[in-house]
Structure 1
Amino acid sequence: MMSADATVSTKRRVPAIWLVPLVALLLGIWMAVHTALNKGPEVSISFATAEGIEAGKTRIKARSVEIGIVESVTLGEDLDSVVLVVQLDPVAKSLLREDSRFWVVRPRFGTSGVSGLGTIVSGAYIELDPGEGKEGRRDFKGLEDIPVTPVGEPGLRLTLISEEAGSIGAGTTVLFKDHAVGRVESTEFDSDNQTFRHQVFIDAPYDVLVNDATRFWNVSGIHVDAGVDGVKVNIGSLQSLLQGGVTFGVPEGLPAGAAVDNETEFVLYGSYDSAAQKRYQYHTYYVVRFKQSLAGLLPGAPVLFRGINIGVVERIMIDALAAGGGIAGQGSAIPVLIKLEAGRLGLGDTQVVTDQLIEAVKTGVGNGLRGTLATGNLLTGSKLISFDYYANETSASPGDFNGYTTIPTIETGLERIEVKVSQLLDKLNGLPVEATVESANRTLAGLDGTVKELRELLASDKVQSMPQALTKTMSELTRTLESFSSGSEFYDDLARALAELILTLQGLDGLSTTLEKQPSLLIFPKTIRPDPEPEVLP
């Protein structure tokens, strides 16, 4: 008979309740891995200040769509900036490129307008402008100003150079015939060259309007130019008056040039007149020296030959005169550097024509060519330099000053009158004024004594009685004259005597006429008796 023994197992079974934390752990690991695999990129952005930015609140947007949030805000290692750690959504990974840009959108007020008013309620946010470069960048430096041109915008980017900034700044409109075709992106000062550099962007399709003959000039506000041609006032459009503006074009008379590339540099002129002024490649320099005042003579003033513009004034060389000690002399002549451009004569802008001009000046000086300082405009007081031939000038030859050829000058017109007046005043100042005043004082003292004696004479009894005697004399004279009046006996006698005198004179007149015709009557009688005839006595 077989017997069966029960087998007792000592192995313990895991309670089913422990499956719950195990599943939770596995689920957590899966979620962590899934989150890590699907987490967006983390980006570091530095700004100059964290104004308006709060960790956990400030959003990151691209084209007004939220794509991330600021996780932390800390000071930079240099303590001059702040560093923002930003967590972006996975979809923003492709937006992070080498040329991507970040900036803070907040309320801004400027000459170009008002922006960011919507953030007054919602708060500031950071805008992302996707670039076009290589992907993968994670460290960025934020922009302090809002960029005015999106990355990838079709058009032409240029650099304008000016001596003054004026009212031009980021956002200033670029115009073509008063139509907006672009904008100024940034303005910075070049301390090395003491100039301002303006980066501008011309939108397509207007970028084809720019060529190497194009000139840019400022149309901001009202431009007033007072020169030898009078006072010129240029007023831009209403938009340029309020915000400033830059315009461009090819000046009249200049042919259009070839197309230009990005980053080409142009000069930004202050007005259309200066931009339209023709530039000549070939020129020559001379120095003219004047002893009279140069007030009103400014760089850029015209140089004329018998009224025809042949050059401009470059500068007044007072520094060269002072360096040579010439400024200490009483009769020192101030040198003025002028630039003569042969192309203005209409013979061509070439070196050959310039050489001909140099030879003509050399010959002309020996024939009486002289420079004078003339008033260009009486209203503004501006002056210019004029050349002409003067027959009474002795022959001379060009001189030399500081390496430049000099042309002799003379004083004419108002300048000569001014010198003469100055010389006259100098002579007047040299007169013995004190001695003259003392003599005049003595004369006045003697005259005062004479006047005193005259007053005493007039107050004497004899002088006081003279009016009565004069009145009596006048009365007697009146009675005497009345005796000669018409109707008086004397008057009648005088009238008869005059009548008889007239008759006598008339008779004498007849006698004189007769004697004139027959002067023999003074000897012979008028009637001649016949000679007696002898008679025969019986």
Structure 2
Amino acid sequence: MSGAPSAFWLVPVAALLISGALLIRTGMQRGPRITISFTTAESLEAGKTRVRYRDVEIGRLKDLHLSTDRTHVLADVQLDDSAKQFAACGTRYWVVRPRIGMTGISGLSTAISGAYIAADTAPASRACKAFVGLEAPPFVTRDRKGKRFVLHADSLGSLTAGSPLLFRRVQAGQVLGYALSADGAEVDVDVFVNAPYDQYVTSGTVWWQASGIDMSFGSDGFRLDTQSVASLLSGGIAFDTLKRAPAPRPAPEGASFVLATDRTQATQGAADGTAARVFMRFEQSLRGLSIGAPVDFHGVELGRVAAIDVDFDPATGRIDMIAALDLYPTRLGRRYRQALGNGDSAAGRNLLHRLIANGLRGQLRMGSVLTGQRYVALDFFPRAPKVAFDPQRTPVELPTVPNTLEELQDQLAGIVDKLDRVPFDQIGRSLDTTLQTAASLFQRVDTELMPEARATLSAAQQSFDAANATLAHGSPLQSDLQGALTELRRTLVSLNSLADYLQQHPESIVWGKSLTRPGQQ
């Protein structure tokens, strides 16, 4: 009995074997251990925080510690054996917690259940041990069906990550993110269109920024355009496919498009082909003409103002205003397109030459009295002066005529300038001197000549009265005839003397009779 092993030792040996078997089984069922880097450990607790995929637990946070440079927090996560594929390189992890942003509120359920680490699978690849966690949840997970596209814009505007994509005012996707291009000349916007809306994105699709309220005052009046409430808060992008686009093809994944600032800019180029850049030279101020103002031909909008510049000639000192216009001549109709031939540029230039010879000119006109905005009008002016036009010159420069109202203002300004140069003060002083001289002359006539004339006429009246008395009825003619003849002779002598004197001295009518004349005693 003493040499046989005691049954007492069999119990602990069996327990050790069972524990080892359990440990081996547990180790075999345990998945990979990974490390996720976050900028902060907010809402994370070692031993409590779960790792979830579609609300199914796939692991647990085991430990938290700082990185060696103390700039990040390293979270040690133990994945389950069934979640080995989440250790593949490219898997995305982020912390789900309550968030309030421009695109809405998310993660409210974690206010009760606590924050957790969410995962998004990656395509099958090699396994990794270290991952960089996302600071915000991705707007699109990899299992969502749809297509991603890249939009090139001059500026970001009011767009942000999560801004909606609208197809005929139906939300069809989201903005994933944005970044400046390599040269910094434009902004590249990454967007995702959900299925089945991605089938409507073709080679003829146009994109434009669609804010909540698009309100503008222009030369064409007041315009108000609205989109969705979501785009009112965070901006948005709208897209549509033009029916006139020739044979549109479905756009492949990752295709690039141009993002216009509004629907007008997006549709005008896509529907009418490439714009023709022309220039117009104005000698007047372009105040009130803004970028994007329409170019009108008899009510048909042919294009838009693309740029405004100043041209200074140092040799002559002349300053002209240059307006660059993007025109779509094909909008003039089918016959005009037929006249152009098969897109032959030489035919188009020759046709333009004939139109200018017939009086085609550009003119700046008032579009809205309320806003003061102007536009450029193309019209025929048969009486316009002939101009030299070189159809081979590039870029094309169209002749212009001044606005009728402004031309009238210039003429009135010229008249006012001429009136300003008239010496009204000098004319007034000369007129005043002339009036004073005339007044003096009339005074001398009244004081010198008139007394002489009155004396002569009085003497003649007396002579006539005496003759009348002599020849009156009942007078003794016989006895007084000699006296009457004598008085009459005296009267005639006086009149002859007056006549001779006036004939010899006519100036006495103005200056009067002098008492002593040169050569008289």
Distance change in 2, residues 1:250/1:418 (3 Å): farther
Q: Which residue in the other structure is 1:263 paired with?
A: 254
Separation (CA, whole Å) in 1 of partners of 2:206 and 2:398: 35
* Residue 41, structure 1, aligned to residue 32, structure 2: yes
Matched residue SS, 2:232: helix
* The 10-residue stretch of structure 1 (339-348 or 16-25) with the greater mean CA deviation from structure 2: 16-25
Superposition deviation, residue 403 in structure 1: 6.2
What runs of 5+ residues in structure 2 fail to find an aligned partner? 430-521
What one-letter code is carried by the residue in structure 2 that aligns with 1:211?
T
Equivalent positions of 1:285-364 (< 5 A) are 285-318=277-310, 321=311, 329=317, 331-346=318-333, 347-348=336-337, 352-364=343-355
SS at match of 1:360: helix
Query: Using a 3 Å threshold, how does the CA distance of structure 1 residues 231 and 252 change in structure 2: closer, same or farther?
Result: farther
Structure 1 partner of 2:86:
95
> Per-residue CA shift, 1:94-122, capped at 9, x if unaligned?
33334422111011011222111122233
Question: Which residue among 73, 76, 86 is the counterpart of 1:82?
Answer: 73
Q: 1:21, CA displacement in angstroms?
A: 6.0
Tell me which of 170, 177, 188 is aligned to 2:168. 177
Distance 1:91 1:224 in 2: 55
What is the CA deviation profile of residues 14-40 of structure 1, one whole-angstrom value per residue up to 9, with x for unaligned ones? 777666665565555545444433322
Distance in 2, Cα, partners of 1:139 & 1:350: 65
Per the TM alignment, residue 161 of structure 1 is displaced from its structure 2 partner at its CA by 2.9
TM-superposition CA deviations, 1:21-61 (whole Å, max 9, x none): 65565555545444433322101212233222233332211
Distance 1:407 1:180, change over 3 A: closer
Residue 344 of structure 1: CA displacement? 2.4
In structure 2, the partner of 1:146 is: 137
Q: Supply the AA of the counterpart residue of 1:397.
A: A
Could you list the per-position Cα deviations for residues 216-251 of structure 1 after superposition, in whole angstroms to 9, with x for gaps in the alignment?
333331111322221111122445435544332223
On the 8 A contact 1:94/1:135 being kept in 2, the answer is no
Distance in 1 between the 2:96 and 2:150 partners? 27
2:205 corresponding residue in structure 1: 214
**Local SS of the residue matching 1:207:** helix
CA distance in 2, matches of 1:49, 1:431: 85
Q: Distance in 2 between matches of 1:293 and 1:260?
A: 46
Paired amino acid for 1:75 = L
Q: 1:376, 1:382 within 8 Å by CA — same for their partners in 2?
A: yes
Compared CA separation, residues 268 and 282, structure 1 to 2 (3 A) = closer
Distance in 2, matches of 1:275 and 1:338, equals 16
Residues 375 and 61 (structure 1), Cα distance of their counterparts in 2 relative to 1, 3 Å cut: same
Alpha-carbon spacing, 1:430–1:129, altered in 2? closer, same or farther (3 Å): farther
Measured in 1, the distance between the counterparts of 2:116 and 2:222 equals 51
Q: Distance in 2 between matches of 1:68 and 1:128?
A: 10
Inter-CA distance 60–335: structure 2 relative to 1 (3 Å threshold): same
CA offsets, 1:315-365, max 9 Å, x none? Answer: 1233xx36x758x93x41122223343322333387635433322333454
For residues 91-240 of structure 1, the aligned pairs below 5 Å read 91-134=82-125, 136-190=127-181, 192-240=183-231
Total equivalences in the alignment: 422
Residues 409-424 of structure 1 aligned to structure 2 (within 5 Å): 409-420=400-411, 423=414
Secondary structure of 2:330's match?
helix
TM-score with structure 1 length normalisation?
Answer: 0.68
Displacement of 1:296 in angstroms is 2.0
Find the residue that maps to 2:149 and give its secondary structure. Answer: strand
2:473 match? none
Superposition TM-score, scaled by structure 2 size? 0.70
Secondary structure of residue in 2 paired with 1:317:
strand
SS at match of 2:284: coil
Distance in structure 1 (CA, Å) of the matches to 2:373 and 2:128: 61
